[in-house]
Amino acid sequence: MKSALKILPWFFLALFATEIVVVMLPKGEGALHTKEFGRLPVLLNGRIQPFDSVARNSLLQMRSAGDVPLEFVTNKLGRVEEFPGWKFWHHPKKLKSTDWLLEVFFKPEAADTRPVFLIHHPDIISELKLGDKGIEKSGLRYYTFSELEPALPEIERQGKNADEVKDEQRTTYQKQIVKLSNAIMLYGRLKNSIQPQDTHNFRQLIEEYKTTLPGGLAAIRAQQSGEKFDEEAMMKFARLAQQFDVSSSLALPLVVPPLDAEKERNGWTSTGASLLGAMRSGEIHPAVDFLARMATAYAHDNAAEFNSAVAGYKNWLAPKFEKEVRKGRAEFYFNQIKAFLHATIIYISALVLAGGALLTFGTWPQLSESLRRSAFYLIGLAFLVHTFGLVFRMILEGRPPVTNLYSSAIFIGWGTCVLGWILERVYRLGIGSAVAGLAGFVTLLIAHNLALGGDTMEMLRAVLDTNFWLATHVVVVTLGYASTFVAGVLAMGYVILGLLTPILSVSVSQRGAGKNATGAETNIGKALTKMVYAIVCFATLFSFTGTVLGGIWADQSWGRFWGWDPKENGALLIVIWNALILHARWGGLVKERGLMNLAIFGNIITAWSWFGVNMLGVGLHSYGFMDSAFNYLMAFVGSQVALIILGCLPLSAWKSFQKSAEPPVAGGLEKMAG
């Protein structure tokens, strides 16, 4: 038994570490070299990214997930459902993001049968008469393009109506319909991004274009100078040119690199535009030739030809666009390993283990220590995975860690993990690991939901385009958020554990003795108080320094140190709140529980500064506007207020303080805490 408990932490570490290693190992290709295709660089949102990122971000926007299910079951009610996720022993077949994009590009009739459009507003479903169609998954409905096709005019009409209403005044219905019509638009644009929609043999189309080009041009010139011209040649040519014109106006990623890599590195264009440009040069761009080969080969299931075209294109691209090719490969790898998803899983596991350690602290000390160690090791592993993802992102972007709301969530999670790990090193109670696990899990969950808006590595608007200030002000202020949250989470733990369990009064020094050392100086409650106090000090330091650095940035770029802008005020609120906690503590205005309640209120203030001010939509900083998060924010505030009310309950209601028979001891505890 004893040795089993000793091995347990290493077992957990080995289990999760193995999974990470397996994820990070390079994967082989199937018959079609679709992964190699997914790595090819394109230009979208002003930045070079692989086809795979285009696919993944589009899918996230359309169906809130990065892949497409291929296996379905019929449930008892006769409805078609996605294969249930809880049956983890069976890996249902899925279409990976790049594979889906290939279908959209080159086999649209297959792509039209994939359930990629998410609708979850019942009114929309009934209005579009979609009630008996679609695929269900946990109450959500996914539809294929073919299913939506009859309703397209109605969706477009409703979408247009809703689009005229200001974003913040839209009803849920209107928001959903705008989202749906945007998703359909995005889908249509992707379909036209390489070849004109409904082309079956792109290669042949281009050959045709090549042959009609000289005759067509001659005919146009003749017509313009008023001479006799070959009408048929001109019509044939014009019909093709018109198709390319339409596809170039719809194309989303720009897939054709500039011919002269030295002169205009960013002059990427679409296949349609490049083909129209051939009117002047008379030559077809080599990239278009390669893409046409891929298109035709894929449409006709010719794997050898497809693979050779992909390899050929890569070899053509590599010498001139070495940086872009490397970026495509790196980002593809980053997409595949899903570092933050794996970190999330490890965080939640560590949280469960640390919780177990805390609950068995007094009753089964050996098990408690074993679980605590397991959680501690896992937090260390999660930290490594989280850091790997964070640094990888920074290198891909060439930016400091925080550039938008999404990355601020990632970074706050990272900061809380570091602080929790340090707390655990010092106190060895399982509390630090629990904080790191909970905060890491929640912040990465928030990040995941923020990623549903689209590309998370978007280019920075002009005013933010300064790595120096992003690396100093933004990083420090975000660490201030993170540490204020850590103090708040510790305080939440204090209230919940104190009310429901006797743990707070368990002695730390006599760990393992299993007795309630009421009034002993070093019980867990005291330890938590020390932790909260120390973290609040850190939070004051970080938030003050960060806020002041922000003022200096503002002075450097706008000529004023302080402008009472909402984001500035939000940061200042955190500074003032932390200062208030410290002064209230020094002045003896609050004792143990008071400190905890103040720290919990710090969560509300930090959440408001982080998200709330972005919802106001005023001021120079309002770059991350968002709406649906408002309800979550309110729910969070409500939960914190509830905890504060619970924290104000008289000591007799606290399980941790009522055990002892003599009431004066509880009072004595209070006094001691002061």
Partner 1 sequence: MLERLYRIFTSLKLTVVLLALGLILIFWGTLAQVHQGLYDVQNEFFRSFFIYWHPAGSSARIPIFPGGYFVGGLLLINLFSAHLRYYKPGARKIGIAMIHLGVVLLLLGQFLTDMLSSESTMHIRAGETKNYAEASRSFELAVVDTTDSDSDKVVAIPAKLLAGGGTIAHAEMPFTIKVKKFFVNSSLSEQSTNGFAATGADAGFGADLYWVELPHETAMDARDTPSATVEFMGKSGSLGTYLVSGFLRSQQFEADGRTYDLALRPVRFYKPFALQLIEFRHDKYAGTDIPMNFSSRVRLLRPDKGEDREINIYMNNPLRYAGETYYQASFDRDDQGTILQVVHNPSWLTPYFACLLVAFGMIWQFATHLLGFARKQKAT
Binding residue (CB under 8 A) for partner 1 from 73, 304, 311, 589: 589
**What is the residue whose two structure tokens read 């104000």?**
648
* CA–CA separation, 305 and 68 (whole Å): 26
Q: Which residues pair with 74 in a beta bridge?
A: 80
Judged by beta carbon, residue 395 or residue 459, the one nearer partner 1 is: 459
Binding residue (CB under 8 A) for partner 1 from 83, 333, 562, 636: 562
Which residues, at least 6 apart from 58, have a Cβ–Cβ distance to it below 8 Å? Answer: 101, 186, 187, 190
Binding residue (CB under 8 A) for partner 1 from 302, 308, 569, 660: 569
Query: Residue 520 interacts with partner 1 (CB under 8 A)?
Result: no
Query: Residue 551 interacts with partner 1 (CB under 8 A)?
Result: yes
Query: Residue 99 interacts with partner 1 (CB under 8 A)?
Result: no
Query: Residue 51 interacts with partner 1 (CB under 8 A)?
Result: no
Q: Which residues pair with 68 in a beta bridge?
A: 95
* Interface map 247-286 toward partner 1 (x if CB under 8 A): -------x-----------xxx------------------
Amino acid at position 348, single letter: I
* CA–CA separation, 670 and 295 (whole Å): 75
Query: Residue 618 interacts with partner 1 (CB under 8 A)?
Result: yes
Cβ at position 41, least distance to partner 1 in Å: 13
Query: Residue 246 interacts with partner 1 (CB under 8 A)?
Result: no
DSSP label of 465? -
Structure token pair of residue 628:
């649906």
**What is the residue whose two structure tokens read 């930016």?**
399
CA atoms within 13 A on the CB side of 476: 19
Query: Residue 637 interacts with partner 1 (CB under 8 A)?
Result: no
Binding residue (CB under 8 A) for partner 1 from 225, 227, 461, 661: 461
Query: Residue 545 interacts with partner 1 (CB under 8 A)?
Result: yes
SS3 content of the chain, % helix, strand, coil (to 5): 70, 5, 25
Which range binds partner 1 by CB under 8 A, 315-323, 342-350, 359-367, 609-617? 609-617
Query: Residue 362 interacts with partner 1 (CB under 8 A)?
Result: no
DSSP 551-604: HHHHHHHHS-S----HHHHHHHHHHHHHHHHHHHHHTTS--HHHHHHHHHHHHH
Helix, strand or coil, per DSSP, at residue 43: strand
Query: Residue 469 interacts with partner 1 (CB under 8 A)?
Result: yes
Q: Give CA torsion, residues 53, 54, 55, 61, to 10 deg.
A: 100
Query: Residue 586 interacts with partner 1 (CB under 8 A)?
Result: yes
Cβ at position 407, least distance to partner 1 in Å: 17
* CA–CA separation, 357 and 352 (whole Å): 9
Judged by beta carbon, residue 129 or residue 425, the one nearer partner 1 is: 425
Binding residue (CB under 8 A) for partner 1 from 587, 631, 652, 661: 587
Distances in Å between the alpha carbon of 9 and those of 16, 372, 378? 11, 8, 8
Binding residue (CB under 8 A) for partner 1 from 552, 635, 645, 649: 552
Binding residue (CB under 8 A) for partner 1 from 5, 8, 17, 45: 45
Reference 30, options 392, 223, 306; nearest CA is 306
Query: Residue 87 interacts with partner 1 (CB under 8 A)?
Result: no
Query: Residue 318 interacts with partner 1 (CB under 8 A)?
Result: no
The sign of the dihedral angle between the CA atoms of 191, 194, 199, 201 is negative
Judged by beta carbon, residue 270 or residue 296, the one nearer partner 1 is: 270
* CA–CA separation, 451 and 321 (whole Å): 29
Query: Residue 188 interacts with partner 1 (CB under 8 A)?
Result: no
* Interface map 476-515 toward partner 1 (x if CB under 8 A): ----------------------------------------
Cβ at position 470, least distance to partner 1 in Å: 11
Query: Strand 140-143 to strand 135-137: parallel, antiparallel, or no bridges (unpaired)?
Result: antiparallel
Judged by beta carbon, residue 251 or residue 294, the one nearer partner 1 is: 251
* CA–CA separation, 365 and 512 (whole Å): 5
Query: Residue 557 interacts with partner 1 (CB under 8 A)?
Result: yes
Query: Residue 564 interacts with partner 1 (CB under 8 A)?
Result: yes
Strand ranges for 102-163 from DSSP E: 117-119, 135-137, 140-143
Judged by beta carbon, residue 70 or residue 576, the one nearer partner 1 is: 576
Applying CB under 8 A, what is the total number of residues that bind partner 1? 61
Reference 620, options 578, 549, 568; nearest CA is 568
Q: Which residues bind partner 1 (CB under 8 A)?
A: 43-47, 254, 266-268, 426, 458-459, 461-463, 465-466, 469, 534, 537-538, 540-541, 544-545, 548, 551-553, 555-566, 569-570, 572-573, 576-577, 579-580, 583-584, 586-589, 605, 613, 616-619
